[in-house]
Structure 1
Amino acid sequence: MSLAGKTLFISGGSRGIGLAIALRAARDGANVTIAAKTAEPHPKLPGTIYTAAEEIEKAGGKAMPVLCDIREEAQVGAAVEKTVETFGGIDICINNASAINLTGTLATDMKRYDLMHQINTRGTFLVSKMCIQHLKLAANPHILNLAPPLDMQAKWFKNHVAYTMAKFGMSMCTLGMSAEFARDGIAVNSLWPLTAIDTAAVRNLLGGEAVASMSRSPQIMADAAHAILTRPSRETTGNFFIDEEVLRAEGVTDFSVYAPGATGPLAGDFFVPDEVFERTDTKVARTFG
């Protein structure tokens, strides 16, 4: 139940959920490549690849920050090869990088449409593709996509069809690659939160402080990811995991630590199927659907 000595390749892990996953692995003594675009501090977004690397090292892991735009095939290939040269291989690929724009069809310009599809769907496909040849050599290889269950209801499409298409593209990578590489023993799974997670996206795009106060911390996703990534890869593939359900299966019963300031129902996240909400004991307001 440890990631000690394992090497993780994480796209877009300079902040938020990606960084939380990296830090959880670092506490085990893992090696982490942070492959992201943020080299200089952003006025509205915390963290760079270099500050993330410092935090990983302080947490007990080894870190390599790599400036990488996952839309560029050559950059992804170079980042993967540098990871293998530095750490000796790749055990885990985390497709965390994502772009969001919650606009309807007529309000979505094609530049933004292309950006979401290039980062979300194409980026997940490309990063996975580049890592797979090395994952085939690993003892317990995993690909984990931060992508939702394929809940094909019109309500998830009608207000932001372009974003939903791009996000579900990541999920379809899980569906297809889990079957394609099952014989190789590579686990390919998705992980998605039951509730909103207090990240820059929530604070800047999805309701600000009001929704942030109804959100859980990224640590719940990090703990759920850790639980998945330490399971046998041949027995754990093709799943669309929900963070709380993963941790309940691990014996966790007290989730208050992940939202210590919440006084009422938490905000349910996008794309969570109705049946998931119905089987949880957590008080959740269906804020996004």
Structure 2
Amino acid sequence: MSAPAAGRVAIVTGGSGGIGRAVVERLAADGFSVAVHFSGNPGRAEEAVRTVIERGGRAIAVGGDVGDETAMGALFDETENAFGGVDVVVNTAGIMVLAPVAEFDLEALDRMHRINIRGSFVIAQLAARRLRSSGALVNFSTSVTRLQMPTYAPYVASKAAVEGLTLILARELRGRDITVNAVAPGPTATPLFLDGKDEDEVQRLSQAAPLERLGRPEDVAEVVAFLAGPARWVNGQVVFVNGGIG
């Protein structure tokens, strides 16, 4: 477990399921009060909140479109009103649509870019304005940016944009004592990853890493907790969390 974070406050976008849910529970275990952001499933967010509270932590659920700056401003407002400020923002919200470039639906591209790129920018902008000193922003990329896998090009393009935003924002916040990093998971057993894949493909991907298994959401949450807490000398980096793929 990371160093105690009593009195510190985190926002986790996309915190109602998959990796986001694991991050919520890990940060709460480390002593953070947590705002669990959701977009389309308030029930899962409330379940995450109940889990945190039952374990002695503090949490609230707040909904909204990550691409809407007004809604996300309200997310920060509600978090500050509930807990007194914001110290850490973990931006796990994202979608993945796969198809070859030649066949890709441009409406799907626009939808993915609104969430993955515009959403990341909106959250990063608010974090840059409102994080307290000694804070941290953790964005999410993907290990597929380095693997050149067919059908992933539109998704990778969106996540490459997140990496560029992350590396530059870390330098723009000079003097603020705020770290900005990105986590790039490999194949991880979440609904987002497993959706649309048959058993053979899942088995093949599970053997890609030298550790010969899929990642677990908790594996990724462990790294996020490090970046959100004790890792004050890790800044402006993309941290690959993939069991040794690529």
Category of TM-score, reference length = shorter chain? 0.7 to 0.9
Aligned to 1:182, the other structure's residue is in SS state coil
1:101 to 76, 94, 97: 97
Highest RCO, 1 vs 2 (Cα 8 Å, sep ≥ 6): 2
Aligned to 2:114, the other structure's residue is in SS state helix
2:141 to 125, 140, 147: 147
1:119 is matched with: 115
Cα distance 1:129–1:4, how it changes in 2: closer, same or farther (>3 A)? same
Deviation at 1:40, TM superposition (A): 5.0
2:50 is matched with: 54
Deviation at 1:26, TM superposition (A): 0.9
**Root-mean-square deviation (CA), in Å?**
2.3
Determine if contact 2:98/2:155 at 8 Å carries over to the other structure.
yes
2:236 is matched with: 238
2:23 to 21, 24, 40: 21
Q: Which amino acid aligns with 2:219?
A: I
Deviation at 1:24, TM superposition (A): 0.7
1:159 is matched with: 151
Q: Which amino acid aligns with 2:221?
A: A
TM-score (norm 2): 0.87
Aligned to 2:34, the other structure's residue is in SS state strand
2:210 is matched with: none
Aligned-pair identity in percent equals: 25
Cα distance 1:200–1:209, how it changes in 2: closer, same or farther (>3 A)? farther
Q: Which amino acid aligns with 2:71?
A: Q
| Cα distance in 1 for residues equivalent to 2:54 and 2:200 | 30
2:104 is aligned with 1:80: no
2:195 is aligned with 1:199: no
1:33 to 20, 32, 35: 35
Cα distance 1:121–1:52, how it changes in 2: closer, same or farther (>3 A)? same
Cα distance 1:78–1:113, how it changes in 2: closer, same or farther (>3 A)? same
Structure 1: any 5+ residue segments left out of the alignment? 42-47, 245-265, 275-289
| Cα distance in 1 for residues equivalent to 2:118 and 2:180 | 16
| Cα distance in 1 for residues equivalent to 2:70 and 2:84 | 20
Deviation at 1:63, TM superposition (A): 0.7
| Cα distance in 2 for residues equivalent to 1:152 and 1:227 | 23
Which consecutive segments of 4 or more residues in structure 1 shift more than 6 A?
none
1:215 is matched with: 214
Cα distance 1:85–1:196, how it changes in 2: closer, same or farther (>3 A)? same
Aligned length: 236
Deviation at 1:35, TM superposition (A): 1.4
Determine if contact 1:11/1:36 at 8 Å carries over to the other structure.
yes
Deviation at 1:176, TM superposition (A): 1.1
Determine if contact 1:27/1:61 at 8 Å carries over to the other structure.
yes
1:181 is matched with: 173
| Cα distance in 2 for residues equivalent to 1:40 and 1:81 | 19
TM-score (norm 1): 0.75
1:66 is matched with: 62
1:11 is matched with: 13
